[in-house]
Structure 1
């Protein structure tokens, strides 16, 4: 990974952290982020941003499927290499992959250790993480009280 890509990833993560905590405009006293994977969906996400921590794996599987019919040995011909590159450029959404890695980085920076996780920050306080709740509005009522 080049320095430019690494810096882009870091800046994306920071922007996501700032932007998503500012997302809850209808609840100015509380910012909320939701972390889960595709097999542990929230029953009611309350309209808050949901970050799927298995998104990187899903994207990588799509990319693998896109090139699985090519012979990827070291004896690969240059025209086959070009065909693989063309196939990947058609399938790959670079921004989606960067966002998926930024979500992982954000979860790590917030010390999210289990899913599902609801991360809340009351204005002027540190972040709180609630694990195991699938009903976001119910969890937020509990946190507010």
Structure 2
């Protein structure tokens, strides 16, 4: 059996969505496994990216939207996000936040929830400037801090 790991092309999104629904719907025991996640375009949200610099992926985010997810009702939660270090990292971070805000609206949510390590001062300041506020403070214990 040959296995290859590669980027998922847009032409395979429909098949990937079917496999995702079948696998998880079967796992949770749904009578119709492919009905898992109803009409939510789960795979598409994970797949969408915008590598504007034409060399490689500049940034990405994994988001949960709505009830029955970690986000909760009416919320889009940025579970994980990263921006590749570069001279344009600040611009890419702003673009990523814009896309997360657009996703929130497109998904019909009214609230966007995201976290940031406050040691990343520029990112933290940019989020505060956009109206994000601290809800939960986490503490990381590091040796030699």
TM-score by length of 2: 0.25
Larger helix share, 1 or 2: 1
When Rg is computed on C-alpha atoms for both structures, the one with the higher figure is 1
